[in-house]
Structure 1
Amino acid sequence: MAFLFISIATAALAGLLFGFDTAVIAGVTGDLRTLMGLSPGAVGITVSSALVGTCIGALGAGRPGDRYGSRDCLRVMALLYLISGVGSAMAWDWPSLVFFRFIGGLGIGGSSVLAPVYIAEIAPPRRRGALVGLFQMNIVLGILVAYLSNYLVGGLGLGDAEWRWKLAVTAVPSAVFLSLLVIIPNSPRWLAAKGRLNEAAGVLARMGVADPDTTLRSLAQAGVEGEGRLSWRHHRRPILLAVSLALFNQLSGINAILYYLNDIFAAAGFGKVSADLQSVAVGATNLLFTGIAMTVIDRAGRRTLLLVGAVGMTASLVGAALILSGLGQGAWLIWALLGFIASFAFSQGAVIWVYIAEIFPTPVRARGQSLGSATHWLANAVLSGTFPLVAQYSKGAPFFLFAAMMALQFVVVLAFFPETKRVSLEEMAERLET
């Protein structure tokens, strides 16, 4: 079991890099606007350049993941993270910064496909929700680390070079992730699907599976019977579930809010240092409620968390919209945002990568995850790129839209989403066959 946990923890580190890169940009948008003279549209391009990369990385990771295995492809993603961190810090002009942010986006998009798939394929069914949830836990940990890093680097008096050092920190966890990927094995499910049964049996034994021979026969049979090509005809239900869940994840506004968090606080009248500290509070809340979700996701179920969170997000977003529209005191904004972050972390944040990794059959799991992840990142890029443009005309309008989408999510989940807790991946694939 120790080897199993090491393998899962290593893959989940991709989430830390995902989260760090998501949040670190919030601490440099002000400097980039001042030092490079960027317009609101150019700032949006700087932020969304990484997101364009994530869309391409997510779309491109599925087929190599199914063919070469998630582990080997994750090594490539780690290298992209490292190149992006070093290159962004050394960028010589705005186009070069946009380019290296794009490279990092490729790594984020690819790892958002590959890491949850790898963890889902090696985790025991009774604990799969919590174990795949470690990926999300590391995302929010990465967000908190980025906020803390921005705050600490901001206090070093680095002047015009401050933004470079904030981005350079990314290289450290990237190097650690790349080195740890050397020691973990291929997924036994992937090995069995490729006919490498002896290797699969060896990995199952090392991971402490009680009856590796019986498990191996089940995995091998699933690989033989499975349809090896993702298609609307055979996989219509999981495709619809994955795409709708990914869209609602971003229509909550989570990433647009995180990317521009300091700007949002500034719009409510907070100073730079105060905004940095409140960003840390947001990150800590995200981590706390993700941890709480991980303790109940395999008991309460994925569907219940999505429903509860939708109610909390709707109420919090309406509150934030009213405050930013001038109908409430600016000092209350932090509480509205903390309520939103807590509700998101407890529901959508904890569930998305678990759920999408569970609903596709093994032969096309990486490609199904790729579809869901690409949808997530495409919506992310569109919303984050347009957020500053819309907000300059009406600061509250985007939040009213996000609230309406979360109310709609409640209805859709209640009507159409099946529960996946404690169901084997093979059984879930049978239930969702069309």
Structure 2
Amino acid sequence: MASEAEAPLISRRDDGLEDESHTDAEDEAVEWPAGRPGLFIWLLTLSAGISGLLFGYDTGVISATLVSIGTSLSGRALTSLDKSVITSCTALLALAASPVSSVLADRVGRKPVILLSDVLFVGGALAQALSATVGGMVAGRAVVGAAVGAASFVTPLYIAELAPPAHRGRLVTMNVLSITAGQVVAYVAGWAFAEHADPAAGWRWMVGLGALPAALQCALLLRMPETPRWLVRAGRSADARLVIERTLAPDSAPAPRRRRVVDAVVKDIEREIREEQGRAPPGAAPAWLRGWRELLGVPKNRRALTIACLLQGLQQLCGFNSLMYFSATIFTMLGFSIPTLTSLTVAATNFAFTVLALLLIDRIGRRRILLYSVPFMVAGLLLAAFGFSYVKLPSTGTDSSAPGGASSPQGAAVIILVSIMIYVAAYALGLGNVPWMQSELFPLNVRSLGSGAATATNWLANFIIGLTFLPLEQMEWLTPTVTFALYGAVCAAGWFAIWRIYPETAGLTLEEATCLLENGWGVK
């Protein structure tokens, strides 16, 4: 099915807006005007992308916070369990919020869900900054988790439903770029507060600053529109036409052609909504229940959900966010004198290669960039496992994250740092952004629900990794060498699954991408 702003080739209909100058070719089809996205689209993407900045800042700031809290919470040093719970509770609430936000996004709109997440971001940031106990910190992190869960689902959907088709991949990747920028900002703030502020208060400023971007986004989004698809579904086709008109660059095409494109897009949405409503007989089950039945019962939808959940789960089970959450803890353990600054090099690598992905994602394609990058992730993880084999950790039960808690030759520490940077660079090129293209896989009638379910898979895997990484890595369950080798094995298995079932969707309309999954996985 074609989307309102996502189909580069839209069947022409008798819209009553034709101009006498149109050609016979235009009688058969109306092409989306070529050219770069206009200023309005960039402003809209940047405004929505603040959610990604908040997501990334939250991911990065907890790394520096965990090594800066000291005895500020509950009057004692944090244990490995405290750190794991503080970190993983965010993912747990994000897991709960994702499917709920998918229902809200259909009922009240995409933009109100983003605004709701901003309110939660502000409340969670302030709760963390003012917390005096471990329980209070967990509660603040949980509120932030609910915000992250809603924003991580709805922001890529919001951008995808408004983006011109030729630039959809690039604009959705802009949200991922915002995430990596947020991580860089968090590590810079962590280093600055750790080195130049009172340790007892510095970490509170770190977590509290997360309220500022959320407040800024609230102010900006109040002036941004709702997506055309939701507007048409709400019976506001006239408003949808105005929004689509604004997404076309002013100099992209003559006015008559622009009007034909706008009207054809709106008619496409209206037709699909009528088809969706026509499938529901009188007295049928509630809409949300019908949605789940269609998502799980229709083979092509089930295949789309399988692929989306595979990619989102692999994005977390490969271990990347554990490095973001606990990188300062790892580098402290390895003996680096300024672990927060060392962590910044990892975040900067992530940002730089996400910029590269931004330039390549629509040229190389989603499937190819994953098949090219995941082997380098495997290589980086195995090299890190090799480096950790030379690190001597203290006996189980001691705090190996304390300075001097582990004995590591300088060469081994450098090998681990380089290997992590290789791994992060490869991740940023592929797995860091491709899973968020998930809306391309689903038809309109189950897009919100399917994307929400896939995002919930992401957060379920994030919760598992966040809760288990430190016990695994600190020899309470496994050694660091086995832990990183295990992540490498997960990536290798994921590469094989991608090769088998993930088709190439770059350059295709949503309708064409859905047709790929009609009678199989569409890989060949």
Short-chain TM bin: over 0.9
How far off is 1:256 after superposition? 0.8
**CA distance, structure 2, for counterparts of residue 3 and residue 30 of structure 1:** 42
Deviation of residue 34 (structure 1)?
4.1
Match of 2:327 among 240, 243, 261: 261
Shift of 1:156: 2.3
Q: How does 1:296-335 map to 2 (within 5 A)?
A: 296-326=360-390, 329-335=412-418
Given candidates 44, 48, 69, the residue that maps to 1:7 is 44
Quote how far apart the aligned CAs of 1:375 are: 0.5
Equivalent position of 2:197 in the other structure: 157
Aligned to 2:455: 373
CA distance in 2, matches of 1:411, 1:200: 42
The aligned counterpart of 2:446 is 364
Name which of 65, 68, 73 aligns with 2:108. 68
Please say if residues 66 and 365 of structure 1, whose CA atoms lie closer than 8 Å, have aligned partners that are also in contact: no
Letter paired with 1:353: W
Q: CA deviation at 1:33?
A: 5.1
CA RMSD of aligned residues (A): 1.6
Aligned: 1:420 with 2:502? no
Which residue, 146, 154, 161 being the options, matches 2:186?
A: 146
Q: What is aligned with 1:221?
A: 271
Partner of 2:53: 16
Contact 2:163 2:247 in 1 (8 A): no
- Which shows bigger deviation, 73-82 or 207-216? 207-216
Secondary structure in structure 2 of the residue aligned to 1:97? helix
Does structure 1 retain, via aligned residues, the 8 Å contact 2:69–2:200? no
Provide the C-alpha distance between the structure 2 equivalents of 1:202 and 1:309, rounded to a whole number of angstroms: 40
Larger Rg, first or second structure (1 or 2)? 2
The answer to whether the Cα contact below 8 Å between 1:197 and 1:216 also exists between their aligned partners in 2 is yes
Deviation at 1:326, TM superposition (A): 1.4
Q: CA offsets per residue over residues 350-374 of structure 1, 9 Å max, x none?
A: 21112x1211122222211111111
Q: Distance in 2 between matches of 1:179 and 1:144?
A: 24
Q: What are the superposed Cα offsets for residues 248-297 of structure 1, whole Å, 9 maximum, x if unpaired?
A: 111110001110101111222212x1x22211111111111001011011
The 5-angstrom pairing of residues 25-424 of structure 1 reads 25-32=62-69, 34-35=71-72, 36-208=76-248, 210=258, 211-226=261-276, 229-230=291-292, 231-234=295-298, 235-271=301-337, 273=338, 275-326=339-390, 329-354=412-437, 356-393=438-475, 394-424=479-509
CA contact (8 A) 2:369 2:429 kept: yes
- On the 8 A contact 1:119/1:131 being kept in 2, the answer is yes
- % identity of equivalent residues: 30
Shift of 1:214: 1.2
Distance 1:374 1:196 in 2: 30
Instruction: Tell me by how many angstroms 1:432 deviates.
Output: 2.9
CA distance in 1, matches of 2:412, 2:39: 51
Q: Distance in 1 between matches of 2:189 and 2:271?
A: 48
Deviation for aligned residue 1:191: 1.6
CA distance in 2, matches of 1:59, 1:293: 28
Q: Measured at CA, do residues 148 and 31 of structure 1 come closer, stay the same or move farther in structure 2, by a change above 3 Å?
A: closer
Alpha-carbon distance between aligned partners in 1 of 2:44 and 2:305, rounded to the nearest angstrom: 28
Normalised by the length of structure 2, the TM-score is: 0.80
Letter in 2 for 1:326: Y
CA distance in 2, matches of 1:194, 1:159: 52
CA distance in 1, matches of 2:207, 2:440: 34
CA contact (8 A) 1:50 1:102 kept: yes
Note if contact 2:193-2:199 (Cα within 8 Å) is conserved in structure 1.
Answer: no
Question: Which stretch of structure 1 is more off in the superposition, 178-187 or 221-230?
Answer: 221-230
**1:175 Cα offset (Å):** 1.1
Structure 1 window deviating more from structure 2 (173-182 vs 222-231): it is 222-231
Report the secondary structure of 2:174's partner residue. helix
Render the CA deviation track for 1:320-361: whole Å, top value 9, x for unaligned: 11111217722221110110110000000121112x121112
Map of 2:30 onto structure 1? none
Unaligned runs of at least 5 residues, structure 2: 1-37, 250-257, 280-289, 392-410, 520-524
SS at match of 1:31: coil
Corresponding residue SS for 1:260: helix
Deviation at 1:4, TM superposition (A): 2.1
**2:387 alignment partner, SS class:** helix
> Within 1, Cα distance between the matches of 2:211 and 2:69?
20
- Between Structure 1 and Structure 2, which shows a larger proportion of helix residues? 1
3-state secondary structure, aligned to 2:415: helix
Q: What letter matches 1:50 in structure 2?
A: T
Query: Gaps spanning 5+ residues in structure 1: where?
Result: none
The alpha carbon displacement at 1:427 in A equals: 3.1
Distance 1:248 1:270 in 2: 30
Conserved? CA contact 2:184–2:348, under 8 Å: yes
1:267–1:154 distance in 2 versus 1, CA, 3 Å: closer
Amino acid of the structure 2 residue aligned with 1:212: V
Amino acid at match of 2:328: N
8 A contact 1:268–1:331 mirrored in 2: no
Shift >4 Å, 4+ stretches: none
